[in-house]
């Protein structure tokens, strides 16, 4: 019986977020397109299989039952120091930032999103990037962005995803998983801004997107959406300019 927890390098008490992060790290390490090694290709398939099982609640439950019988493992663990309570008692920006990611990784997604929004609203210059390595911020930040989207906090999600995309362009951390980041961002920009957040915020998000290298077709789409938004707020001149720019991008002869 394969130990899927060992394959991913996580404990049996690992949260869904921890499993997702471990999978991305292991998959990048053994991805056949990167190593061109048969042994690594086999390891890659083991990692994928482990993730398929552990990321599915029903399959993980079945696996855990068999695993516990074989190894006599108990999930009960004595914990003398409550790190979360220690963080909750502190109001400094570093502690609250660490609380956000701690909750995110310990099945407290609602609390993590709520605290993230509270800090953004109360502290204009709040930034998670100050308190984590770039790798940790990109990993946890993407998971947080996914949770924001699930809760329809679309503008906050776009701002977070923009930070991650810009970091990726300078750092190349996600590599094979970067299309997943771009796809989520594109999906929100195209389907979850117009009519769901106010036009001023939507315009800001689409304007930011123009600098993220989505490509001519996507940029033309964003400009068309911007044109409609400018028309709704009564700025017909800027609306017309956006349409002109969109038409230029769609002109395949250029």
pLDDT tens for each residue of 186-196: 999 999 999 99
> What pLDDT shows up at residue 28?
82
Listed in sequence order, the residues at least 6 apart from 50 whose beta carbon sits closer than 8 Å to its beta carbon are: 2, 4, 5, 7, 8, 23
| Residue 210 reports pLDDT greater than 60 | yes
pTM of the model: 0.78
Specify the higher pLDDT residue, 72 or 21. 21
Q: How far apart are CA 52 and CA 49, in angstroms?
A: 5
Characterize 83-116 residue by residue with b for buried, 16 or more Cβ atoms within 10 angstroms of its Cβ, and e for exposed: eeeebbeeeebebbbbbbbbbbbbebbebbbebb
* pLDDT number for residue 35: 62
DSSP 192: S
Residues contacting 29, CB < 8 A, separation 6+: 40
């Amino acid at each position: 019986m394969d130990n899927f927890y060992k394959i991913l390098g996580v404990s049996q008490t690992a949260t869904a977020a921890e499993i997702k992060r471990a999978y991305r790290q292991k998959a990048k390490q053994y991805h056949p397109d990167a190593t061109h090694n048969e042994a690594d290709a086999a390891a890659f398939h083991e990692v994928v299989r482990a993730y398929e099982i552990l990321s599915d609640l029903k399959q993980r439950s079945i696996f855990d039952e068999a695993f516990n019988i074989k190894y006599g493992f108990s999930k009960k663990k004595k914990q003398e120091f409550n790190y979360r309570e220690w963080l909750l008692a502190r109001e400094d920006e570093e502690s609250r930032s660490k609380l956000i990611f701690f909750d995110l990784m310990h099945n407290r997604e609602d609390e993590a999103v709520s605290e993230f929004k509270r800090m953004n609203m109360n502290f204009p210059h709040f930034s998670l990037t100050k308190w984590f390595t770039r790798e940790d911020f990109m990993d946890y930040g993407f998971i947080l962005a996914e949770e924001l989207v699930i809760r329809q906090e679309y503008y906050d999600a776009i701002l977070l995803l923009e930070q991650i995309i810009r970091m990726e362009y300078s750092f190349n951390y996600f590599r094979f998983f970067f299309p997943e980041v771009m796809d989520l961002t594109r999906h929100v920009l195209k389907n979850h801004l117009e009519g769901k957040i106010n036009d001023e915020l939507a315009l800001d998000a689409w304007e930011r997107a123009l600098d993220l290298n989505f490509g001519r077709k996507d940029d033309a789409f964003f400009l068309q959406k911007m044109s409609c938004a400018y028309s709704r707020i009564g700025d017909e001149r800027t609306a017309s300019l956006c349409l002109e720019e969109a038409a230029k991008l769609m002109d395949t002869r250029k």
